[in-house]
C-alpha cells in the first residue's frame, strides 16, 4: 500500500510566497486523496503494489488496460506531489550552483533565460497540469554525450517519467495549487514560486 509522505517542512514554511492554508489543503486533502484512490485502484494488484510508484509510471505498458487511466491519474498525482514537496524549501531564494548551473547556462543561455522560458510554458499551459525541467537518461557507457536538459509540459497528472525522462524540477499549475491566495493570477503564483525552489535538491537529482 502507498502512504502519504509527510511534508518535509512546516505548512507555513513557504510563506509569504505560498500560504499555509493552500499547503494544508494541497498536501492533506489533494495529495492524500490521490494516495487513497491509487490504493483502491490497485486492490488485488499485488505485483504493482510492491513497486515504487516511479517504476510503475515508467513502465505503463505493464499496467492492465482496465486500470491504466486510474494509475496515470492517481499514481501520477501521488508521485508528482511527493516530488513537488521536495523541490521546494523553507530556505528561500537559493540559487543553482555547480554543474547544474553550468548545464542550465549551456542549454538555455542563462538562468534568467531558463526561468523566462519555463515561466512562459507554465503560464500558457492550458487547463491543469505541470511544467518540468527534465534530464534525458545518461548515454550508454563509452558514448560521449552532452547532458540534455529540456522543459516539458504535461497535462493532468501525467509525468515525464512515462517518457523515460528524469524530472529535476516541476511546478504544479493546477488551480488548487494557487487559487486560495492568487485566485486566477497564475502569473503571480509562478513568479512567487521561484523564491521557494530547493535548488540543492534539484542539483542532487541532476547529479
Ligand atoms: Mn497539486
Answer whether residue 19 shows pLDDT above 90.
yes
Whether the CB-CB separation of 193 and 18 falls below 8 Å is answered with yes
How many angstroms is it from 81 CA to the middle of ligand 1?
6
What is the model's pTM?
Answer: 0.95
Residues 6+ apart with CB under 8 A from 95: 101, 111, 199
How many angstroms is it from 135 CA to the middle of ligand 1?
22
Q: How would residue 137 be classed by pLDDT, with cut points 50, 70 and 90?
A: confident
How many angstroms is it from 177 CA to the middle of ligand 1?
5
Please report the pLDDT score of residue 139 as a whole number: 63
Fold type of domain 98-206: minor pseudopilin epsh fold (3.55.40)
Is 19 known to sit in a ligand binding site?
Answer: no
Question: Cα–Cα–Cα angle for 134, 152, 96, nearest 5°?
Answer: 45
Q: Where are the domains of the chain?
A: 20-86, 98-206
Quote the CA–CA distance of 127 and 108 in Å, as a whole number. Answer: 26
In whole angstroms, how far apart are CA 92 and each of 16, 55, 140, 202?
10, 31, 37, 14
How many angstroms is it from 109 CA to the middle of ligand 1?
30
CATH superfamily of 20-86: Fe,Mn superoxide dismutase (SOD) domain (1.10.287.990)
Amino acid at each position: 500500500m502507498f502512504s502519504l509522505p509527510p511534508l518535509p517542512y512546516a505548512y507555513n514554511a513557504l510563506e509569504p510566497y505560498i500560504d499555509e492554508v493552500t499547503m494544508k489543503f494541497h498536501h492533506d486533502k489533494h495529495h492524500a486523496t490521490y494516495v487513497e484512490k491509487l490504493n483502491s485502484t490497485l486492490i488485488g494488484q499485488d505485483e504493482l503494489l510492491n513497486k515504487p510508484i516511479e517504476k510503475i509510471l515508467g513502465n505503463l505498458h505493464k499496467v492492465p488496460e482496465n486500470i491504466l487511466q486510474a494509475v496515470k491519474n492517481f499514481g501520477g498525482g501521488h508521485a508528482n506531489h511527493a516530488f513537488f514537496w521536495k523541490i521546494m524549501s523553507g530556505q528561500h531564494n537559493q540559487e543553482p550552483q555547480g554543474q547544474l548551473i553550468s548545464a542550465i547556462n549551456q542549454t538555455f543561455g542563462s538562468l534568467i533565460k531558463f526561468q523566462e522560458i519555463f515561466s512562459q510554458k507554465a503560464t500558457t499551459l492550458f487547463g491543469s497540469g505541470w511544467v518540468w525541467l527534465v534530464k534525458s537518461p545518461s548515454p550508454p557507457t563509452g558514448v560521449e554525450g552532452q547532458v540534455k536538459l529540456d522543459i516539458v509540459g504535461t497535462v493532468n497528472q501525467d509525468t515525464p517519467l512515462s517518457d523515460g525522462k528524469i524530472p529535476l524540477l516541476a511546478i504544479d499549475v493546477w488551480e488548487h495549487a494557487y487559487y486560495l491566495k492568487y485566485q486566477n493570477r497564475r502569473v503571480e503564483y509562478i513568479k512567487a514560486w521561484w523564491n521557494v525552489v530547493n535548488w540543492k535538491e534539484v542539483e542532487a537529482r541532476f547529479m
